[in-house]
Structure 1
Amino acid sequence: MNTPSGRPMDAHLSGGNQRSLQGFAPQHFAWEQRGAVGLITLNRPERKNPLTFDSYAELRDLFRTLGLVDEVRAIVVQGAGGNFCSGGDVHEIIGPLTQMSMPDLLAFTRMTGDLVKAIRACPQPVISSIDGVCAGAGAIIAMASDLRVGTARSKTAFLFTRVGLAGCDMGACSILPRIIGQGRASDLLYSGRSLGGEEALAWGFLNRLVEPEAVLESSVQWAQEIAAGPSFGHAMTKKMLHQEWAMGVDEAIESEAQAQAICMMTQDFHRAYHAFVAKQRPEFQGD
């Protein structure tokens, strides 16, 4: 049996530990595969692509599944119609939340947090392609991504205090300070103000700033470049970036020694060596 990439599937993986997204058709967002890049499009442009209970859950389930998918090596998330995501739908989420009991509210907030956990845990690097409004849960999805490409007109707002809530939503008080620093994160989480594209680039929230008409192309091209690299090595890098938040320096160095020794056992490491000797470009296959 072969994987969707054409490589033989190990016998111990054929018992249910691999998944294919061939034919995957989600109900609450759009999905497209461009080679080894998966493209998620939040597609309610008439409302600036808000999330619902169902889209939260379906996104969480997709990112969980991606941990078992061999054919997709990088992910791009975008919104349709010139905006990224306006957060939770006021009518379909905010309104119903005001009528829920405490156990139901906690089940909801844990589910939204599980989406962030799934984005951080999936082995594929995730790039958010941000234009226009990027607010609330949309800002959280961008924050949880590994990389962010934006435009000057993009407006990122962690606006939870604007609706009477705390800024500590879906891991924001843990992840955001690590991206832009404690003081800047405090500014955004207390005020709920919008962060423009140029300021977001200067602060390090955005990795790249491009023109609106180029934001998706630039994001997909970057994802394709990443996908062409050693996917096992990329997955290990992502895992170490996440796990080392809670480590001391000595523990981190030891963890990286073990991780790198594991990567040295891969065929991609050997391919890179032989390609270098032959003065050729290595063709990584992810094993």
Structure 2
Amino acid sequence: MPERLEVFGKVLVELRGDGVGIVTLNRPEKLNALTADFLADLERALRELGGAADCRAVVLHGAGRAFCAGMDLNIGLARDGADPTRAAYAAMRQAVSVVAAMREIPQPVVAAVRGHAVGAGFALAAAADIRICAEDSRFDAVFVKLGMSAGDLGLSFLLPRLIGPGRTAELFYTGGALSGVEAERWGLVQHVVDDPLHEAVELASTIAAMPPMGVQITKELLDTSIGASGFREHLELELRSQVIGLTTLDHADAVRAFSARPRAAHENRP
């Protein structure tokens, strides 16, 4: 039974008695596709858990059949405004704050992935400390197909460190995807299981049972080992590249083509 249950808009937070915080992206009817408000709720949830002394590990997962289908192409990240570039910049800064929170909170984050992790969803999974996925998982780097840079929410920083620069380049330049089995073989995920949420909670419970200061300091050391001192600077470069991409005619044309596809295609792939 949860010790505490809170709702942050479309984000649910359960803090269990064993010190595991479970963060659920709760927009299953849209495959947990992201909007500006959704991202603000997610950052608030992560920061609150990060400051909770009784939380020692965090699990992030998506409700329903997908982890996260990336940006909601029908709504977009930018709220309506007179200056689309300014609006896109503000929305991307909010999105960047989410992955910064994942890396900056003291608790390790375990991502439990089922179904699609597309674009920004792929980036959220990569920003976790550990990834556990189902066999039906699909990590999709769709960016270039939408006229966008693949530098999104830390993904162009973290993914080369996880699977290597050559594999990352091939995936990004072709707008490719990895299945759960391929992701495990390439080192992106640590385990492929039937029930990733159950396994992630079990692993998080094991972590939560460890002396908390040792875990926190170890997370700090691991961040340093991958060059986290430059992560914030890299996020700023990615942010600018995404704002440029969001406001190009190429992107607008690609989104129109994507949205015009038959409904069956949307159901097969977000």
TM band (smaller chain): 0.7 to 0.9
What is the total number of aligned residue pairs between the two structures?
226
Secondary structure of residue in 1 paired with 2:125: helix
**Residue 220 of structure 2 is aligned to residue 224 of structure 1:** no
Distance 2:159 2:82 in 1: 30
Distance 2:29 2:4 in 1: 29
Gaps of 5+ in 2: 229-270
Gaps of 5+ in 1: 1-20, 248-287
Distance 1:216 1:146 in 2: 15
Residue 277 (structure 1) aligns with: none
Distance 2:71 2:25 in 1: 12
**Residue 113 of structure 2 is aligned to residue 130 of structure 1:** yes
Residues 99 and 76 of structure 1: CA distance in aligned 2, closer, same or farther (over 3 Å):
farther
**Residue 202 of structure 2 is aligned to residue 202 of structure 1:** no
Looking at both structures, which has the greater relative contact order when contacts are Cα pairs under 8 Å and sequence separation is at least 6? 2
Residue 120 (structure 1) aligns with: 103
- The alignment yields a C-alpha RMSD, in angstroms, of 2.2
Distance 2:88 2:79 in 1: 10
Whether contact under 8 Å (1:149, 1:210) holds in the other structure is: yes
**Residue 32 of structure 2 is aligned to residue 71 of structure 1:** no
Whether contact under 8 Å (1:97, 1:105) holds in the other structure is: no
Percent of aligned positions that are identical: 36
Residues 201 and 98 of structure 1: CA distance in aligned 2, closer, same or farther (over 3 Å):
farther
Residue 246 (structure 1) aligns with: 227
Distance 1:242 1:56 in 2: 23
Whether contact under 8 Å (1:148, 1:207) holds in the other structure is: yes
Secondary structure of residue in 1 paired with 2:14: strand
Instruction: Name which one, 1 or 2, has greater alpha-carbon Rg.
Output: 1
Whether contact under 8 Å (2:144, 2:174) holds in the other structure is: yes
CA shift for structure 1 position 89: 1.1
TM-score, length-normalised on structure 2? 0.78
Residues 97 and 151 of structure 1: CA distance in aligned 2, closer, same or farther (over 3 Å):
farther
TM-score, length-normalised on structure 1? 0.73
Whether contact under 8 Å (2:78, 2:90) holds in the other structure is: no
CA shift for structure 1 position 117: 0.8
Whether contact under 8 Å (1:66, 1:123) holds in the other structure is: no
CA shift for structure 1 position 156: 0.6
Secondary structure of residue in 2 paired with 1:75: strand
Residue 36 (structure 2) aligns with: 53
Secondary structure of residue in 2 paired with 1:31: strand
Residue 94 (structure 2) aligns with: 111
Alignment of 1:1-287 (within 5 A): 22=4, 24-35=6-17, 36-93=19-76, 100-211=83-194, 214-246=195-227
